[in-house]
Structure 1
C-alpha cells in the first residue's frame, strides 16, 4: 500500500482524519513518521508537571504521558528529544516532528512554526514564600528595585519580566528544575510563571504559595508546536486532541498530575 493511502486509512481508523484528507493528499511529515515507525517529540524536560527529565534520564509529566498516547494511537514508538526554550521553535522540524511540554502560544514562535489547537488556558502569576504573598499581588508591588525576581532564560517567563517590569532586580537562573530552591533559600523573592506551574510547585514545596493563580496577570493558551509546513500531521494532532477530550483520556492524565 502506498504511504499516502496508508496515512488516509490510518487516520480514518483512528477518527483523526482532517476534513481535507484524500487519497491524493501529500502525506508529508505524517507519512515520514509512519514510515519511520517513530514519533520524535521535542521537550525541555524542565517544566513540571508538563515535562521533566530526571538525572537518571527518565521522562515524566502530563505531556510526556500524552505524547505516549499519541504515538500509541499512531502505532509507532515514541522518541523524546531534549531541547531548550530558546531553541524550541527552530528544533521543531529539524530535530523532531513536534514539541510538547506546557508550551505557551506566542507570536514569535508562530512565525517560525505552527501551533496545534490550544488544549489549556493559563497565565502568568507570581509564586513566593508563603508569608510574602500579600507583598506581591500586583506588578506595581513587584516592580521595585529591592524586589528580586528570579527568571529562567529563553521563554515566556523571561519575556513577561523583561517587558512588564522596569525597576525590579532580575536574577537569571539557568536551571528551571532547581529554580524554586532560590525562593526557598531566600536568594530571590519571587518568580513569575504559569499559574499551573505555581499550583503544582506549591504542592511540592509547602514553603511556597501561588499568588492569585485563579486571577493571573495574563490570559494565555498552551498548545503543541509543529513544523512550519506540518502537512497532515497538524490535522492528525488536532483530531487526536479532540478524541482524547471526548474519550476521557485528557481528563484522566490531568487528574494524575493536578489532582
Structure 2
C-alpha cells in the first residue's frame, strides 16, 4: 500500500505538469507561429502601403527638412519661419495630398538624423538637400531627382585655396557629419584634415572664425552661404554630381509615385522653374 501511494505521489505531479504543458502548446501552438516568421515583412508592407491613407487620416504631412541651409531649408531668425526651396516643394506635396499647403508639419533634421527619423516613423518624407546614393538606397526609397547640384568649396576671399587641387597636407576642410561631401573630400583630397560639425551653420561659423581653410558641400548650399556673407566666395567649380532626391520609407511606393507624378507635373506647368528662380536666382539648366 505504501508503494502504491508513493507511486501515485510521483506520477500525479508529473501528470499535472504534462497537462499544463499541453495547454501551453495549445495556446501558443505551431499554427500561429508559422505566419510570425514572415509576419514582420507583411505587417511592414501593409503599413507602408497604407502610409498615404495614414497621412490623410492624420490631416497633415510631416516632413523632415533642414533648418540651417540657406535657400533650401533655413529658419529665418526675423520671422521664426522655415523658408527655402525644399520647404516650397514640401508645401506643394501637402497641397497635392490634402488640398491645403498649410496642412504641413516641418521637423528639423540633419544629415546624421534624417534617415533614422524616417525609419522610426517620426516623419513621412525627407526633403533636405539629400544626395541619392547606392548606399542610401539600401535604407530608403528615393523619388526622381528634384534638384541637380555638385560639390564645391567655399573660402574667404583672398584665401590661397582656389580648387580641390590646393587641398594639401596642412589644409583644413570643414563639413557636416553624415554628408556625402565629407566622404568625397576624404577620397579626393586624402592629405587634407577634415573637421566635421553637426550642421552647416556650425561649419560656416567655424570657417568665419578661422578654424579651417575651406568649407565643402554642394554648390547650391555654398551659394546660399556666400549670399549671407559677401566676404566668402565659391571656388573651384564642381568636382562631383550631387542629385537630390526626396526620401520615403522603404516600400512606400504609393507616396513615392505621388511625389514623382507631382514633380513631373510641376516641371510641365512651369511651377518648378518659378520655384527654382525664386530661390536660386536663375533658371534651371535643362
Coarse TM-score class (shorter-chain normalised): 0.7 to 0.9
Alignment of 1:91-110 (within 5 A): 91-93=117-119, 94-110=121-137
Provide the C-alpha distance between the structure 2 equivalents of 1:154 and 1:167, rounded to a whole number of angstroms.
Answer: 20
Aligned counterpart, 2:68: 46
Which of the pair has more CA radius of gyration?
Answer: 2
Q: Does 2:87 match 1:32?
A: no
Once the 2 structures are TM-superposed, how far is the Cα of residue 57 of structure 1 from its aligned partner?
4.8
For 1:179, which of 180, 186, 203 is the aligned residue? 203
The answer to whether the Cα contact below 8 Å between 2:111 and 2:176 also exists between their aligned partners in 1 is no
Provide the C-alpha distance between the structure 2 equivalents of 1:118 and 1:231, rounded to a whole number of angstroms.
Answer: 16
Deviations 1:214-259 (A, max 9, x none): xx11112111001101131111000000111112221111212111
For 2:226, which of 182, 193, 202 is the aligned residue? 202
Provide the C-alpha distance between the structure 2 equivalents of 1:198 and 1:175, rounded to a whole number of angstroms.
Answer: 13
- Contiguous gaps of at least 5 residues in structure 1: 1-25
Q: Which runs of 4+ in 1 moved over 4 A?
A: 54-57
For CA contacts below 8 A with separation 6 or more, give which structure has more relative contact order: 1
Deviations 1:181-227 (A, max 9, x none): 333332211011101112222222111111144xx111121110011
Deviations 1:22-58 (A, max 9, x none): xxxx952111111221111112322221112345752
TM-score (norm 1): 0.81
The answer to whether the Cα contact below 8 Å between 2:51 and 2:252 also exists between their aligned partners in 1 is yes
Once the 2 structures are TM-superposed, how far is the Cα of residue 166 of structure 1 from its aligned partner?
1.9
- What secondary structure is seen at the aligned counterpart in 1 of 2:170? coil
- Contiguous gaps of at least 5 residues in structure 2: 1-47, 282-286
- What secondary structure is seen at the aligned counterpart in 2 of 1:131? coil
Aligned counterpart, 2:182: 158
For 1:136, which of 162, 165, 169 is the aligned residue? 162
Provide the C-alpha distance between the structure 1 equivalents of 2:184 and 2:67, rounded to a whole number of angstroms.
Answer: 21
- The root-mean-square deviation of aligned C-alpha atoms, in Å, is 2.0
